[in-house]
Structure 1
Amino acid sequence: MTDAKINPICILFAINRGDVHRICSGQVVLTLATAVKELVENSIDAGATSVEVKLKDHGVDSVEVVDNGSGVESANFQALTLKHHTSKIRDFGDLIGVETFGFRGEALSSLCALCRLSINTRHQSSAVGTRLTFDHSGKITDQSPVHRQPGTTVVLEQLFSTLPVRHSEFKRNLKKEFSRMLHVLSAYCLISVGVRISCTHVTSKGKKNVVLATQSSSSFRDNITSVFGFKQMQSLVEFEQVQAEDATYEEFGLSPEDSAASVPFKITGFVSRPEH
């Protein structure tokens, strides 16, 4: 007898749309830092002058971002967490002059697929606020009136719970994830003049700590002091973009037409002193 030769059969299956959404969402929001970053950017883009980030048990239990921005109009509730829906651009041409932190319209949709998401919001033109609860596909499951000032509160519960492996890794590396989140949030604290940003952490035992805060200052200098302290501020040198001298143009073979006045941007900031 001879062994029968079996020809392998390859069958292609279309992945379920729900599974596709979960897979893609896991590539948009990869870490705790990414989740907080997306929500803080939305708050600042909404014109908020106060943004509070609140985490329970390093973000495992919940992440809450509260702002006093413009809020969400009721006409936009249904599309708020749908993929590729955004108020920040209308078409591809708008990308040339985009002046917001984000515009893809994927953050809230992705977060819905990764955790339990709820939003309390009140638009400036509304008399009362609204609490919205969403399912993992971004559809509203509950809507009820709520008392609050104009602005928006986004609450994430059990982040990454829909991805067991990611969730386990998140809990295993809690302190690293939390540290990276603070590092990213610090950058927004530095550049956001006129915006008060604070971050508080509530431990699993209920102890509350303020881990980061700025004071809605109108200067970068004050923001640096708030984040890094007065001593660190003393070790920095402020710099500003200025017109070059004629000798500099000659040295690099440039003409006055190549001056800073012809560049569509201006650079200012602070740099460490080269004393160490």
Structure 2
Amino acid sequence: MAGDAAEVGDEVTEVAGASEAAKCIKAIDKTTVHRICSGQVVLTLATAVKELVENSLDASATSIEVRLRDHGTTLLEVSDNGKGVEECDFEGLTLKHHTSKLQDFGDLVGVKTYGFRGEALSSLCALSDLAIITRHFSQEVGTKLEYDHNGKLLTKMAVSRQVGTTVSLQGLFSTLPVRHKEFQRNIKKEFGKMIQILYSYCLISTGVRITCTNHDGKGKKTVVVSTSGHPTVKDNISSVFGARQVSSLLEFQQKTASADVLAEYGMDVTDGTVQGIQPY
């Protein structure tokens, strides 16, 4: 009985101590904040691929290759033939809220690119081991860059590369043990969602060749999806889903409303453009 009473007393003391500690509101250290926030920017394998493909499209790439090893658990790599990264941008490329797309808040109105907030590469640094090989069109050789989990440039060395950029991620979500375990456990589902997202960019990106391959543990290479840089969405649909799927589609043609309808809504047509409608 006495022993039981002592154990209960110890538990009460521990609970009281925990309660006292809980009352102390303290700032979370910057490294933990960075990981928490990064985990809200890049949620899945699909999000990681989406962000990297969008960066390639923003760089005016006409050829984008997505390469995965073990469905993305070991390696995710996106390579393009875009304009590359200038040397003056090496330091700020992976830092939080660093971007070349905005100078002030008013610039948001004119943003015409996919990425502009400067969060994707910074978040991927926090969630994986990130390395970049890039060559700007103004440079004669490429540069390999390695960053730490805070987005700070660690090493820089000259390498051979054609104009463009390759971003490699090893051990995605490895800095978040619980998320990493769930990621590995549900990798087939994650991979399936990634493919659906990639299909979307394959369809809408006319004039851009997009390929995705996966290498399994035995080195076997599987082509997941491949387009040929067709000039129309219809041709892209044929590359992704097959010619039979295209034959069952109907082409949508946009036509201007009649004069009576335009007058009813207070609109007019100038040079073939409907006035009074503002795009968002």
Partner of 1:15: 28
Provide the secondary structure at the position in 1 that maps to 2:237. helix
Q: CA deviation at 1:114?
A: 0.2
Q: CA deviation at 1:14?
A: 1.1
What is the aligned counterpart of 1:73 among 86, 91, 112? 86
Q: CA deviation at 1:122?
A: 0.5
Partner of 2:153: 140
Q: CA deviation at 1:179?
A: 0.6
Aligned residue type for 1:100? T
1:124 matched to 2:137? The reply is yes
Paired-residue identity, %: 58
In 1: Cα distance, 2:269 partner to 2:89 partner: 47
Q: CA deviation at 1:245?
A: 2.5
Partner of 1:170: 183
1:103 matched to 2:122? The reply is no
In 2: Cα distance, 1:140 partner to 1:249 partner: 57
In 1: Cα distance, 2:105 partner to 2:95 partner: 19
Aligned residue type for 2:170? E
Provide the secondary structure at the position in 2 that maps to 1:243. coil
1:13-66 C-alpha deviation (Å, 9 max, x unpaired): 111111110110000000000000000000000010000000000000000000
Q: CA deviation at 1:254?
A: 3.1
Partner of 2:56: 43
Aligned residue type for 1:177? E
In 2: Cα distance, 1:38 partner to 1:120 partner: 17
1:53 matched to 2:66? The reply is yes
In 2: Cα distance, 1:197 partner to 1:234 partner: 23
| Gap runs ≥5 in structure 1 | 266-276
Q: CA deviation at 1:98?
A: 0.9
Larger Rg: 2
Aligned residues: 261
Q: CA deviation at 1:246?
A: 4.4
What is the aligned counterpart of 2:268 among 236, 257, 262? 257
TM-score by length of 2: 0.88
What is the aligned counterpart of 2:200 among 187, 199, 214? 187
In 1: Cα distance, 2:90 partner to 2:114 partner: 21
1:151-181 C-alpha deviation (Å, 9 max, x unpaired): 0000000000000110011111111100100
**RMSD between aligned alpha carbons?**
2.1
TM-score by length of 1: 0.89
Partner of 2:4: none
Aligned residue type for 2:202? C
Q: CA deviation at 1:264?
A: 4.4
Q: CA deviation at 1:11?
A: 1.0
1:150 matched to 2:163? The reply is yes
1:196-243 C-alpha deviation (Å, 9 max, x unpaired): 011001111110011101101111111111111111111111112211
| Gap runs ≥5 in structure 2 | 1-8, 10-15
**Is 2:135–2:165's contact at 8 Å kept on the other side of the alignment?**
yes
Provide the secondary structure at the position in 1 that maps to 2:252. strand
1:94 matched to 2:89? The reply is no
**Is 2:63–2:80's contact at 8 Å kept on the other side of the alignment?**
yes
In 2: Cα distance, 1:241 partner to 1:95 partner: 29
In 2: Cα distance, 1:246 partner to 1:90 partner: 43
1:199 matched to 2:228? The reply is no
In 1: Cα distance, 2:36 partner to 2:125 partner: 13
Partner of 1:62: 75
In 1: Cα distance, 2:266 partner to 2:155 partner: 64
Provide the secondary structure at the position in 2 that maps to 1:241. coil
